Amino acid sequence: MKVLVQLSRVFVGAIFVFSGFVKLVDPIGSQYKFEEYFSEGVLNMEFLIPYALGFSIVLILAEIMLGVMLLLGYKPKFTVWSIFFLTLIFLFLTWYSAYYNKVTDCGCFGDAIKLTPWETFYKNVVLFVLVLLLLIRVKDIKLILTKKLTVALTFICLLSFSYITYYVLNHLPIIDFRAYAVGKSIPEGMKFPEDINELPAIQNFVLEDTQNDLTDQILAEKKVMLVLVYNIQKSDKKGFIEIKKAADKAIAKGYKVYGVTASFGDELVITQNKYNLPFDFLFCDETTIKTIIRSNPGIITLLKGVVTAKSNWKDADKINF
């Protein structure tokens, strides 16, 4: 039995560390997932949407730290009970998503691994059983290092993970698992796989002006810079000062520059005029823009449809055109 407990401890701990890490490098992706769960069509808790980023950060740090603590054997009762309650919440949410077909991707492993709702639910059932075993045999979970070294490692991990969270919120994810990562070809990602049961990696990528679909034309151009603003009202307005500088530099280097947004209305024109932006805006689906880049506004550059660079507006001056 002790061997089974230790194997369960390693497995559960590793799952929590891995699941936490792939979300740690992209907490805004988890924010969007919380917003989806809180929306009217799912849990109908829209009053919590403004706190979605805070929820995502707390959950991510809790998940990865509990995994580390379980592997180290630090405070086993607190750790296992905490993991039990988290797993219970995950089990309910994934069952709810699968049964009512509300959220097609729970985001349990961020964008690194995609599971269907039922696959995710069954994964959590297995995890829950193993956690129950750990709860019953918590006395078998011991420190693998000295107490002082364990405490030191725990705090070092907490500080390191907190810094990573701070960094990616102010820049971009340090690992990009999405189909729009640097080096990826958008046209290739839009092609249907040979397996007819699979969907393309990239869907709903459409760039339109008020009259025409310009997607193919833009993806065929040699050098393109896209300024992505998923919502003009929620954008960081001071970012447009840096965007203006980057756009001017790109144009001087022979790039064609376009704004891309899901917003309509006067505020778009006001922003364009206020900051003297040297480009016109095209329109694209908001979810697609959020998927492309975790910055509002943000920048990507393309070479015949291949992503060559991505940047938060704060790092616009570092783009090598």
Domain's final residue, options 170, 200, 219:
170
Domain's final residue, options 139, 170, 201:
170
Burial zone of 205 (CB within 10 Å; 0-12 exposed, 13-18 middle, 19+ buried): buried
Helix 117-136 vs helix 2-24: crossing angle, to nearest 10: 130
Do 9 and 130 lie in one domain? The reply is yes
Please state the pTM of the whole predicted model: 0.89
Residue 116: per-residue pLDDT: 80
Consecutive H or E run containing 283: strand 281-283
Burial zone of 200 (CB within 10 Å; 0-12 exposed, 13-18 middle, 19+ buried): middle
Residue 129: per-residue pLDDT: 94
* 175: in domain: no
* Number of C-beta neighbours around residue 240 at 10 A: 23
Residue 106: per-residue pLDDT: 59
DSSP assignments along 86-100, one per residue: HHHHHHHHHHHHHHH
Q: Which residues of the chain have pLDDT under 70?
A: 104-110, 112
| CB of 121 closer than 8 Å to CB of 95 | yes
Do 148 and 234 lie in one domain? The reply is no
* 179: in domain: no
Do 128 and 212 lie in one domain? The reply is no
Do 270 and 138 lie in one domain? The reply is no
Domain's final residue, options 170, 203, 230:
170
Angstrom distance (rounded) from CA 282 to CA 119? 38
Residue 88: per-residue pLDDT: 93
Do 151 and 38 lie in one domain? The reply is yes
User: What number of residues does the chain have?
Assistant: 321
| Domain of residue 137, residue span | 2-170
Do 9 and 152 lie in one domain? The reply is yes
Residue recorded with tokens 């823009």: 289
* 181: in domain: no
* 165: in domain: yes
Residue 190: per-residue pLDDT: 95
For the chain, how big is the Rg over CA atoms in Å?
A: 22
Domain count across the chain: 2
Angstrom distance (rounded) from CA 136 to CA 130? 10
The answer to whether the Cα torsion of 49, 296, 19, 42 is positive or negative is: positive
Do 147 and 97 lie in one domain? The reply is yes
Do 56 and 205 lie in one domain? The reply is no
Angstrom distance (rounded) from CA 46 to CA 200? 31
Do 268 and 215 lie in one domain? The reply is yes
Do 117 and 214 lie in one domain? The reply is no
Residue 3: per-residue pLDDT: 85
Helix 52-72 vs helix 27-38: crossing angle, to nearest 10: 120
CATH code, 255: 3.40.30.10
Residue 112: per-residue pLDDT: 66
Do 8 and 95 lie in one domain? The reply is yes
Q: Is 310 helix (H, G, I), strand (E, B) or coil?
A: strand
